[in-house]
Structures are given as structure tokens and as C-alpha cells.
Amino acid sequence: MTSYRMRDRLIRDHTVTVPLDWSAAGDGRTIEVFAREVAHVDRVDAPLLVFLQGGPGGKGPRPLPGGDWIDEVLKTHRLLLPDQRGTGRSTRVERASIAGMDGARAAAFIRLFRAEQIVADLEHIRREVFGGVRWQTLGQSYGGFLTLTYLSFHPEALAASYVTGGLTSTQPDAAEVYRRTLPRVAAKTAEFYRRHPHDADVVARVVDVVEGSDVRLPGGDRLTARRLQTLGHEFGMKPGFDRVHWLLDEAFSRPGVLSDHFLAAVDDATQYWGNPLYALLQEEIYAHGRGATAWAADRMRAELGGFEPDLRPVPFTGEMFFPWTYDEVASLRPFRDAAHALAEDEDHPRLYDRERLAANEVPVAAAMYYDDMYVDFGQAEETARFVPNTHLWVTNEYEHDGLRQDPRIVRELIDRVVAEGGPLS
């Protein structure tokens, strides 16, 4: 452990060695998992709250000054910020991780970075670093999925759980997820064009250029219309419309010629050098028991229609990955065979135990955003009804990044649990 102080915060960095595969813990293969403990210097023994990062494939946030949700949590809690296996300062998944592996072997390796393994890592940290203390969790987005996995298999570890924008179905089906969320993407796209009507012409002209010539991004990839469409993944965040608008504002350096600034920004927004697991596990987070995900987003896009790049105004797509992504995006190309093998796999570990969830005693407070583009509100509502002791706060004040935009959200959730009798002891 390394301990140091930054302003009014005491920080302890922990690194533990864990099995690569908890279901075969004796095979000798290990990885490292890193977690950063942060406390206000006046409250170093406060109750411990673990942040479950969104993603998948997201590292824990790095604490910065500025009155964000971390400051709010530190008023009453210590905070543990794990880098989930495969990310950040934990043993990372990168191109070199699968060098020399065929698609099936690489897919088997990548499957070891799913939720059930992440929760097992956290349990090891709880027991070995913190003496088995019962702790609280805060799950943002995919962190809410992890919360349900944690409640399924180790509810005895949890005193309370808080979720922001991340209650998912306990009977996951990737195709059903995209059947519900793709219409939300279309609605967000329509709202974007209503706010910025001039951008409809700009996007159409950009598509005409990239479809009519070989336009290369700074990294060497060819820019295609369908890759441009994926910028719509921004639309589920509060600043998303403005980010895309200002990007388009500088699309052309002169008529018919896309600017270097624009091309660099598009390249950066559609690469995954630092988090390939975000792409690789995007459908795997719904893989539960029997049945292949089979490129569910691509199938649902074709089934629903209305996302073809030759339409005007040009439609955008959202938080989803397609078979062609692994051909066209340099950072994902080394993972192409693994991605196809993952999509074809028929057999998966269980993500959730519905019997245990139906008997849940851990207090759960969840904020769900009615207009969330990424996590379907209908499925969240079903899960809140199914899991006892879940207190659902529904609001349309925020987008998916509400926790980042307003630290009062986490305080509201903590207060709701306190009002219902407080965390378990």
C-alpha cells in the first residue's frame, strides 16, 4: 500500500493479486487489481463506500478538486475507487494481451473480465484489505449492473447500494435492449436536429464527401458514413448535443474539404485505444446462460430500419458496436476475431440469481432517468419492482450523466436509505 495526502484528502493505493479466472483459481494464472481509497483527513474511519464504475471497461475516476460527487460522498464516507480488472492500473487488456491467440482463445480470455469476475475481485479486496467489513456501493450506469450481480452472489457483503442510471433487466437479452433503446436514439437524433437545424445540412455534406472519396483520419483509417453516425453515442449525455454541434461547426476548411481539426476529433471520438473492453463487452454484459448475442445491435438496427446513412437528415446511432467496427477502427482491429467469437458463443455464466434477488434484504436506492438513452427506463422499473427493498427515484431532470452533473443526486440516495432505517450493520 502507498499512502499520501492531496490537499484535504488522505489517499491510499492498494494493489492485490487475484486469479485470472475465479472459477479455476488453482490454475496459477493471476492478474493484479488496483483500488484507490480516498478519505477526508478528518474522517479517515468513515463508513466505506465502493464506487462501481460505468462502462463496461471503465477505470475508476481520478479524484480532482472542484465540488463534484466525490466531495459530496467524502462528507460522510470513505471512498474506494477500483480500476476494474482489465483497466487503468489493474492488469490491462490491450492488443498485447491477446497476441498470438486465435479468435476462440482470445474470446475465452476476454470473457474473464465480465461482471461475475469483477465482483469476485471486490470480495477479495473486502476480505483481505479491509478485514471483511460490510460496505456500501455506488454504481453508475454499468456499475448498476455490477450492483445486481453483487446482490445476487454476495449480498452478505453489502450494507446498502446506490445506483444512478444503471438498473437493468435481471433476465437480460441483448436484442431486447436494442429493440428498446434504438428508438430512443432516433428520438434523440430528432431532438438534436430540432435544436441545431443547420447541422442537418452539414452532416449531409460530410456524408457526401466521405461517401464520394477516400477520406483518411489522422491514424490512417478511412472515414465512412456509418462510422460518422456513431457520434450519436454522445446524445445521451447532457453536453452531448453541444459537443457534436461544435464539432460540426468546424467540419470544413473550405467547400468540399474536411478540416484536419474535424478529422482528428472524429478519430479521437471513435477510437478505443484506452478501453477496448468497452467495445468488446458491450453486448457481453447481457450474455446470461444459454444463447448467443449474435451482433444484436446490428440485427435490431436492420430489423427496425431508419438508420441507413443515405437517409436525410442523416440518422445517428448510439452506444452500440457492429461487425464492421472491427474492420474499420484501428484500435479494435486486433480484436476482430475475438469479437466475432464472443458474438457466436452460446454458453455464458449467470450474471444474476433471481431467486436471491427476489429475497433481497439490502437497502437499494436508485435514481433512474426517464429519458435515458442507454439504459431503458421500462426495464429499470421492472427490476425495481422485482427486487425488494429497492427505492426508485424517477426523474427527467437529468441525462445519463446526472451524477457527474449534480452531486446532490448521491446525497439524495444516501438520505433515502437513511430515512428507511439506514444501511445494514
- Residue-level pLDDT at 85: 99
From 14, 77, 83, 141, the catalytic residue: 141
Length of the chain: 425
- Residue-level pLDDT at 35: 99
From 45, 310, 347, 425, the catalytic residue: 347
Q: At 31, which helix (H) or strand (E)?
A: strand 30-40
Report whether the peptide linkage leading into residue 313 is cis, meaning its omega lies within 30 degrees of zero: yes
Please indicate whether residue 347 is annotated as part of the active site.
yes
Q: List CB contacts of 178: < 8 A, sequence separation 6 or more.
A: 296, 297, 299, 300, 301, 320
Neighbours of 264 (CB within 10 A): 13
Query: Is the CB of residue 143 less than 8 Å from the CB of residue 52?
Result: yes
pLDDT along the chain (425 residues), means of 10: 95 99 97 99 98 97 90 98 99 98 98 99 99 98 99 99 98 98 98 99 99 98 99 98 99 98 99 98 97 98 98 98 99 99 98 99 98 97 98 96 96 98 97
Q: At 277, which helix (H) or strand (E)?
A: helix 276-280
Q: Which residue has the cell 460522510?
A: 76
Please indicate whether residue 196 is annotated as part of the active site.
no
Residue closest to 366 by CA, chosen among 388, 387, 393: 393
CATH class belonging to 2-172+351-419: alpha beta
Count Cβ atoms within 10 A of the Cβ of residue 130 and give its class: 0-12 exposed, 13-18 middle, 19 or more buried: middle
> What is the distance between the terminal CA atoms of the chain, rounded to a whole angstrom?
27
Q: At 14, which helix (H) or strand (E)?
A: strand 9-19
Report whether the peptide linkage leading into residue 56 is cis, meaning its omega lies within 30 degrees of zero: yes
d(CA 100, CA 360): 44
d(CA 108, CA 120): 18
User: CA distances (Å), 14 to each of 36, 71, 87, in order?
Assistant: 6, 21, 15
Query: Is the CB of residue 258 less than 8 Å from the CB of residue 218?
Result: no
Q: What are 217-259's pLDDT values in tens digits? A: 999 999 999 999 999 999 999 999 999 999 999 999 999 999 9
Collapsing DSSP to helix, strand or coil, 306 comes out as: coil
Please indicate whether residue 124 is annotated as part of the active site.
no
Domain boundaries, the chain: 2-172+351-419, 174-344
Q: List CB contacts of 305: < 8 A, sequence separation 6 or more.
A: none
Within 163-250, residue ranges assigned H as helices are: 174-195, 198-212, 225-229, 240-249
Collapsing DSSP to helix, strand or coil, 49 comes out as: strand
Residue type, 218: P
Q: Grid coordinates standing for 304?
A: 427496425
- Residue-level pLDDT at 67: 78
Count Cβ atoms within 10 A of the Cβ of residue 89 and give its class: 0-12 exposed, 13-18 middle, 19 or more buried: middle
d(CA 240, CA 228): 15
pTM of the model: 0.97
From 40, 196, 348, 400, the catalytic residue: 400
- Residue-level pLDDT at 65: 83
Task: Report how far Cα 359 is from the mean position of its chain's Cα atoms.
Answer: 27
Query: Is the CB of residue 338 less than 8 Å from the CB of residue 100?
Result: no
